[in-house]
Structure 1
């Protein structure tokens, strides 16, 4: 075990007296040795287990030369597209190229190929033939079955097929990678590694499987959207480490076979992940570029847990980290906080304390670890389950301990508070809200109601509009009590499945009444693996089989974005168009409730004089 960076060159290997690697890790992200980066965790896990691991970050993918610079590894090659899907990393919701890439040196775009997992694997096969090839990371995890790809507007095969990989690790991967490594070390052929939970493999037969669910085939889901929705439904409900079955999907002459998800990490296991000797910074080779921007978002933040039982339809965390919360111990978190205070550049501010949802720090109910999550019921949205166990006590104690650490001036919570979960806490919601406003907000608190239409919120899996209105009121009252001027900054999504122009106008009127102008609007992006993406592609809610309206045309999506930012003069013509289409011309004019002025550039005073003159002539 070492506190230095893992090898990225032959010189690094020589300094360790290594002639050959056990594993080579290929990453589409720049090398940042920090536990917020997947490549750092997996390589440190292997290093800690005694395996010799080298990293080639962002290789030149147009030929094989760069892939060969550390030599052929003894046991296998691991490939990841990084912390984001490579297509999402490159393209916006309007399919325009992003100008920056925060996971690349200096934020420079263009350092990774499209569909990076496939591109890298093709080069590895070209270079080393049948070497064991294992793919993982968010891109592989969420594209493990036949999936809709927004950027090509087509259903694509499982990435396991297109990449020619031997195994696909889905989820976070710590348990799986060690099991795989140990089996390869014992000389077990990769073609015989078939029973590890949290992995997928391909085979020409399913005769020896038992207790499995078979999805409609790739060929079926390409030609039939109802079949696609049914395939997604099966994959979605079996995504559970306790009750989940093996899931299979035929692709021509092969079957993609998904073993059930890996068991959640225990508290001690998760603690051990964060106790590994990360250097917690970018590799020195990036100094000339000014480093890697993505580190700045997490450098002085603390991850308290994994998983999310919120199950928002537009989010794929359920398919990657799962619904069962896995928490670190307070001791582990405090040890890391003390470490942060000693890092160069620490100025007394812990930027975040949380996970996918900050105040979900324990499983939603005690039954989950015994029987798994409910197959046909959600924990909190749109209506909280009667068995939901709401508890902020442990989180409150942790925050108190953190803000009293020597050298800590302020502890922020930026990873998002579920206000519906907070309000459901009959025991400590008021205390939590008071401490949140008193100690952990600096002027603004970002929250994510996402929409206000009850129909859209139900499809999103979010609580109703009245819950957000209640939270707004309680937040305002608490800040008045504390003598603070602090504001809510709500995030909204436009063009989500279920949202037509009527719903978009309802949201615009809500924004108007808040006297709030969103600086940025999140236009819904159908990313692989999410429930909302299935709705977007099929027009079907796969869980209920009901039809769902989907705003697909680029023009309607533009109109919905414009409605949310109706005060921007450059959007006025689009807002007027949307209001006319929806029959809401009552919102065009100079009235207090109007969203935009009339098309003619006419002052209010002039319009009033003209209307007064018309009235006199009529009399």
Structure 2
């Protein structure tokens, strides 16, 4: 099968699994007693999450659970289990198809620690706001406990924590480069980005008799495999690694900024020798160009030069190659885990390659070596259509926390209780934010009718509604129905941002659709 995968299916196009005869559960069960009330003898899929179970479309576990239920599968929920043993992971029995593991709506380390690496005293996703209800690196811990509970059950990891740690990455909390979370968790499959398409396909194919190791052609998935029968492209042929320039201090005075720019220009022209010593600190290395270097002909990086004690020259120009390769059978070989651990330039290069190959319209598969294993990343998932977005957000959510929490207040639920998502994605591409990396640059929109129906449902069914909808939005504001003017340009573009350093002339900036929606919602 090709790495690009076959054409995607509408979420409503699947034939329902036989268990659809059990109907819709008021809440996805969290105990054997609830399963008995529903007439279930087992679960087809069990979702393990680091958040409290709130049956609301602002919570990823609720979307995945209700979506699988709509496909006919029996879905159980294990929320914030005690991770000290495998027993809590056995409470719903053995799942027939797979365990779905997520840390929750946030990365577990961001959730548990402040930027000063101090433990937070509260957790907005826990009843009563109590802290300490999830482990560090929850995806890894939960996956290992699930494997301990049922060794032969496939494990699929996903959510923001798994998605953003799918390749070798710098871990702020331990101050070191960590390998792909797929390997640390010992999972069978990792789904990244918004995973509705992947999770439906995985469930139906496993139910159809395929094994988890046969499912290697899905967009938005990562797994361990051998890369035979594919055309390998060295990542330096796509983007040549260059020097590390010191970032400009945004709070510096104009004279200081001007002086820094003049110094950088002088180094570039060869008038001033680059700063550096035996260690060549990040930001201080400014190599010269080797004449006659072709695209992708990369000279030693600063890190390797420092180790060898020789002068280094690095190609700093942007380079592209291999225009006519067979995309369906092409994979880009990224620097290995061992390489990016030793060399900051190669780490930056690998990160840039990941961003360059983020457009579903032109992205190729990526592969990164970790020791004697290859971590393979298929291209990103195809964005949901408006029809699919409406389907996902109009599933029969209870829009309340699970009854087992009683009257305990869950702060995150209080925040979004009367909130409505109308879009996904962000074309900002800000370096400090993970939304574009996780959800993509292409905005996925709901229809006006779907949004208005949800407002009416909140009015009629949600206790305590006072007539005020707190938010019509999404992960980013004011992007509803804004898109590239041309589908052809959009599918070929590799720019990380549509608005920086300037607004792209191909971006349609008409906000009339959002304004009209606001007016109709009043």
- Give me the TM-score of the superposition, normalised by structure 2: 0.75
| Of 222, 230, 243, the match for 1:200 | 222
Q: 1:123 to 1:369 in 2, by over 3 A?
A: farther
CA positional deviation for 1:376: 3.6
Separation in structure 2 between the aligned mates of residue 373 and residue 48 of structure 1, nearest angstrom? 34
CA positional deviation for 1:397: 0.6
| Of 73, 77, 83, the match for 2:105 | 83
Task: Structure 2: give runs of 5+ residues left out of the alignment.
Answer: 1-22, 232-328
- Please state which structure has a larger fraction of its residues in helix: 1
Separation in structure 1 between the aligned mates of residue 389 and residue 46 of structure 2, nearest angstrom? 24
| Of 356, 360, 374, the match for 1:237 | 356
Secondary structure class of the residue paired with 1:372: helix
* Contact 2:445/2:480, CA 8 A, preserved across alignment: yes
Query: Aligned Cα RMSD in Å?
Result: 1.3
Separation in structure 2 between the aligned mates of residue 395 and residue 379 of structure 1, nearest angstrom? 19
Aligned to 1:340: 458
Separation in structure 1 between the aligned mates of residue 472 and residue 514 of structure 2, nearest angstrom? 9
Separation in structure 1 between the aligned mates of residue 493 and residue 213 of structure 2, nearest angstrom? 34
Separation in structure 1 between the aligned mates of residue 504 and residue 442 of structure 2, nearest angstrom? 15
| Of 349, 359, 364, the match for 2:483 | 364
Secondary structure class of the residue paired with 2:401: coil
Aligned to 2:81: 59
Aligned to 1:253: 372
CA positional deviation for 1:371: 4.4
* Contact 2:482/2:509, CA 8 A, preserved across alignment: no
Aligned to 2:443: 325
Task: Structure 1: give runs of 5+ residues left out of the alignment.
Answer: 404-619
Separation in structure 2 between the aligned mates of residue 223 and residue 212 of structure 1, nearest angstrom? 24
Q: 1:363 to 1:398 in 2, by over 3 A?
A: closer
| Of 466, 473, 490, the match for 1:354 | 473
Q: Does 1:308 align with 2:330?
A: no
Aligned to 1:110: 132
CA positional deviation for 1:373: 5.8
Secondary structure class of the residue paired with 2:224: strand
| Of 68, 88, 93, the match for 1:46 | 68
Aligned to 2:288: none
Instruction: Select between 354-363 and 162-171 the one with higher mean Cα deviation.
Output: 354-363
Aligned to 2:26: 4
| Of 388, 400, 412, the match for 1:294 | 412
Q: Map of 1:45-444 to 2, 5 A cutoff? A: 45-208=67-230, 210-288=329-407, 290-342=408-460, 343-368=462-487, 371-372=490-491, 374-376=493-495, 378-403=497-522
Larger Rg: 1
Separation in structure 2 between the aligned mates of residue 204 and residue 388 of structure 1, nearest angstrom? 40
| Of 17, 36, 46, the match for 2:58 | 36
Separation in structure 2 between the aligned mates of residue 398 and residue 361 of structure 1, nearest angstrom? 10
* Contact 2:481/2:513, CA 8 A, preserved across alignment: no
1:6-51 alpha-carbon deviations (Å, 9 max, x no partner): 1111111111111111111101100000000000000000001000
* Contact 1:148/1:156, CA 8 A, preserved across alignment: yes
1:332-367 alpha-carbon deviations (Å, 9 max, x no partner): 000001112222111111111111222101243132
Secondary structure class of the residue paired with 1:179: helix
Aligned to 1:408: none
Q: 1:327 to 1:369 in 2, by over 3 A?
A: farther
* Contact 1:23/1:73, CA 8 A, preserved across alignment: yes
Instruction: Select between 201-210 and 7-16 the one with higher mean Cα deviation.
Output: 201-210
CA positional deviation for 1:388: 1.8
Q: Does 1:23 align with 2:67?
A: no
Q: How many residues align?
A: 402
